[in-house]
Every structure is written in structure tokens, then in C-alpha cells.
């Protein structure tokens, strides 16, 4: 029941985003092999046909899902692997099997962050292996919240890849009455934009927790987009100048930033809001039931920006709150005078 180009499809991860992607695919009758870390959740999917922890209202037809807690089983049975685990765990999950078994597989990254052990995007991490072919790689970005997918509210997904046939096939597999899809060639820019917007959303949440209003937030987000745009342009010029220059003024970049900074569904904004109300980083993490990708992303982007000598003062300020001792109120009192 797989797509001719994609073959059998596997999803690695059963968090809210992995569950949302599973819903989109199975709604179209696509059968998926599904790696679920927790054996209780796997058994629940097998017997009761819904995820007991995330997007619990989403029901799956039993013939469309093959849940397993054996990652090797998914890898061996599938031609296309959608990696949808939080970035903090992605590298250890992939390395829990012989990673060379991914050779020849089509890899679709639904990771919204940098692998924290190596400070690399998934494609750059895989590029360390001589068998990895970037033509077999596609990245999924938004703007799209899992909760709205569960409600079948109209959402947009962007797919980035160098192989037009593969990228368009992945986009087509996810296209539905409630999902509009588009694709481009900008693997690095689209993924870095997804990483940066999570960091900026933590800042937006901190501003809200500190009782800044909508007027300030609009100025803050405008400056975040300007900083993101400068980073993407500089990264393109320094690392991929021979490639086709992408259009950064689209929903995958600006739109994803806006929804992540404003939406009540945004876990990064929620995390920042808790920090703004005076909680420590550790206590804010305990308060959250989900991973805020921007936490590790802030550290990773701080290292990347230093290596590439690309300044991003807003993201750096948020890094100093998350990984240093800067109180959010002190950060924003300085930031107020930097914004325009």
C-alpha cells in the first residue's frame, strides 16, 4: 500500500508530531510501519487504535498501522523512513541499531531541531557516512501544529529536497483536503529556520510571562525575522553559494515563525512563558509534558553561529537565559533598546 516512489513507509517516533504525520498518511489509506518507544503505547495502538499519550482523539483504522517497539523491524521493512523523534533523542535512537542499515533508504526528517550531541542537522550528521546520498533526503517544515492536524483544520506543510521526483512524491503523499503542500530545494535554510523559530518562540513566551503586550511582541517578532533572514542569507553565502538562492519570504520561514511565537499550541512559547513567570529552567522543564526543541537548539545555534561567524544577538540573548544565569527580565530590559 506504499507509494510507487516511496515504497513501504515507516515512522520513527510517536510523539504529537509523529502521531499527526501518521494520521495524515493513514487518512489517505497509506499503511505505515510505526516505531513506538514505549511498549505500553505500542500495545494500546494495536488493541485500541489510538495513541494513549499524544493526540488521544485521533483514531486509526487497524489495517493502516503496524506498531512495533522494534526499530530494526521498521528499518528492515521500509524503503522510506520518516524520523519524527525530538532532536534531543534522534541520534541515540538511530545509533541504537546499526546505522549502516539506513544505506539506500529514503530519509524524511520531521525533526525540528539540531542533534545536540553533534550540533548538526540530521542531513549533515548522516553526511558523515560515505553511503549517505543527499538526493535521498527530504525535510518537512511548517507552519503546522500537530493539534490542528488532529482537528483537521487547514494546515500547510513545506517539503525541502534536492531530488524533485522524491520531494514531490513525499509532498503528494501528505496532500489531503486539510493539508496543503509545497516543496523547494532549500534543505539547509528551511531546517535552520525551523530551528531558529523555536528559539525565538521561547523568547516570545518569556515576554508574555513578563507581561509585555502585543505591541512589543509584534516588534520583537519583526526583529526576530530580520535576524533569521540575515542568518539564512549569510549561511547560504558562506556554505552553499553555488546552489539556487531560495526565497525566504514564504510561509516555511516567516509563517512558521509567526505561528510558533503566537500560538497557544506552541510548546516553546509555553516553556518561555513559564520562565518569564519566574520559574527556573529546570522547574520549567519539569512543568512541561513535552520537549521544547528551542532549549537544545539555542545551545546548538550558539556554537554554529560562532563557527560560521554569523551574529544573531536575539538568539544569543535567549541562549544566555537558558544556558547561562541571565534572568529573563534583565535580557528584555537590554533587548528593548536593541529593537526597532
Helix axes 328-335, 313-323, angle to 10 degrees: 170
Please tell me the distance from the alpha carbon of residue 297 to that of residue 3, in angstroms, as a whole number: 33
Average pLDDT over residues 32-49: 93
pLDDT at 240 over 90: no
The fraction of the chain above a pLDDT of 90, given in percent, is 85
| DSSP designation for 117 | T
Task: Please report the domains of the chain, with CATH numbers, ordered by start residue.
Answer: 9-185 (3.40.50.720), 188-335 (1.10.1040.10)
Mean pLDDT, the chain, as a whole number? Answer: 93
Q: Give per-residue pLDDT as tens, 158-193.
A: 999 999 999 999 999 999 999 999 999 999 999 999
| CA dist., res. 232 & res. 230, Å (int) | 6
DSSP letter, residue 249: S
What pLDDT does 4 receive? 63
- Give the confidence band of 242 by pLDDT, cuts at 50, 70, 90: low
CA dist 286 → 254, 278, 279, 282 (Å)? 30, 14, 10, 6
Q: Which of 71, 127, 76, 67 is nearest to 105 (CA)?
A: 76
Percent over 70 (pLDDT), the chain: 98
Residue 31: predicted pLDDT: 97
Which pLDDT belongs to residue 1?
47
Each residue of 193-215: pLDDT tens digit? 999 999 999 999 999 999 999 99
Beta bridge partners of 115: 120
User: What pLDDT shows up at residue 94?
Assistant: 93
Rounded CA gap, 125 and 274, in Å?
32
Rounded-to-integer distance, Cα 118 and Cα 188, Å? 16
Query: Is a pLDDT exceeding 70 seen at residue 248?
Result: yes
| CA dist., res. 204 & res. 262, Å (int) | 8
- Is the separation of the CB atoms in 84 and 11 below 8 Å? yes
Residue 238, pLDDT > 90, answer no
Q: Which residue stretches of the chain are H helix?
A: 16-27, 39-48, 71-77, 87-94, 122-126, 146-150, 164-174, 187-209, 214-239, 256-262, 267-276, 281-287, 293-308, 313-323, 328-335
Distance CA 91, CA 188 (A): 18
| pLDDT exceeds 90 at position 325 | no
* 43-47, 81-85, 263-267 — most confident range: 81-85
pLDDT digits (tens, 9 = 90+) for 105-150: 999 999 988 999 999 999 999 999 999 999 999 999 989 989 999 9
State residue 279's pLDDT score: 94
pLDDT for the residue 62: 94
Amino acid at each position: 500500500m506504499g507509494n510507487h516512489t516511496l515504497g513501504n513507509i515507516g515512522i520513527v517516533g510517536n510523539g504529537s508530531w509523529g502521531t499527526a504525520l501518521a494520521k495524515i498518511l493513514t487518512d489517505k489509506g497509506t499503511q505505515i510501519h510505526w516505531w513506538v518507544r514505549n511498549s505500553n503505547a505500542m500495545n494500546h495502538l494495536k488493541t485500541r487504535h489510538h495513541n494513549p499519550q499524544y493526540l488521544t482523539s485521533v483514531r486509526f483504522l487497524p489495517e493502516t498501522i503496524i506498531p512495533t517497539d522494534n526499530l530494526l523491524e521498521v528499518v528492515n521493512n521500509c524503503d522510506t523512513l520518516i524520523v519524527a523523534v525530538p532532536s534531543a533523542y534522534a541520534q541515540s535512537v538511530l545509533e541504537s541499531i546499526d546505522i549502516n542499515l539506513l544505506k539506500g533508504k529514503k530519509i524524511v526528517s520531521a525533526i525540528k531541531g539540531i542533534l545536540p550531541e553533534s550540533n548538526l542537522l540530521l542531513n549533515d550528521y548522516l553526511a558523515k557516512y560515505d553511503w549517505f546520498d543527499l538526493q535521498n533526503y527530504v525535510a518537512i517544515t511548517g507552519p503546522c501544529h500537530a493539534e490542528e492536524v488532529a482537528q483537521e483544520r487547514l494546515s500547510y506543510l513545506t517539503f525541502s529536497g534536492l531530488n524533485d521526483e522524491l520531494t514531490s512524491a513525499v509532498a503528494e503523499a501528505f496532500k489531503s483536503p486539510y493539508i496543503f503542500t509545497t516543496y523547494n530545494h532549500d534543505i539547509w535554510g528551511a531546517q535552520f529556520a525551523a530551528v531558529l523559530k523555536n528559539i525565538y518562540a521561547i523568547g516570545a513566551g518569556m515576554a508574555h510571562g513578563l507581561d509585555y503586550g502585543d505591541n512589543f511582541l509584534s516588534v520583537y517578532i519583526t526583529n526576530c525575522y530580520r535576524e533569521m533572514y540575515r542568518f539564512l542569507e549569510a549561511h547560504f553565502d558562506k556554505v552553499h553559494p553555488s546552489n539556487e538562492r531560495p526565497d525566504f519570504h514564504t510561509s516555511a520561514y516567516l509563517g512558521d515563525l509567526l505561528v510558533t511565537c503566537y500560538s497557544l499550541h506552541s510548546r516553546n512559547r509555553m516553556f518561555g512563558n513559564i520562565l518569564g513567570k519566574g520559574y527556573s529552567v529546570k522547574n520549567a522543564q519539569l512543568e512541561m509534558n513535552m520537549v521544547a526543541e528551542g532549549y537544545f537548539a539555542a545551545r546548538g545555534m550558539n556554537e554554529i553561529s560562532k563557527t560560521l561567524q554569523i551574529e544573531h544577538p536575539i538568539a544569543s540573548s535567549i541562549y544566555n537565559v537558558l544556558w547561562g544565569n541571565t534572568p529573563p527580565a534583565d535580557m528584555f530590559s537590554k533587548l528593548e533598546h536593541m529593537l526597532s
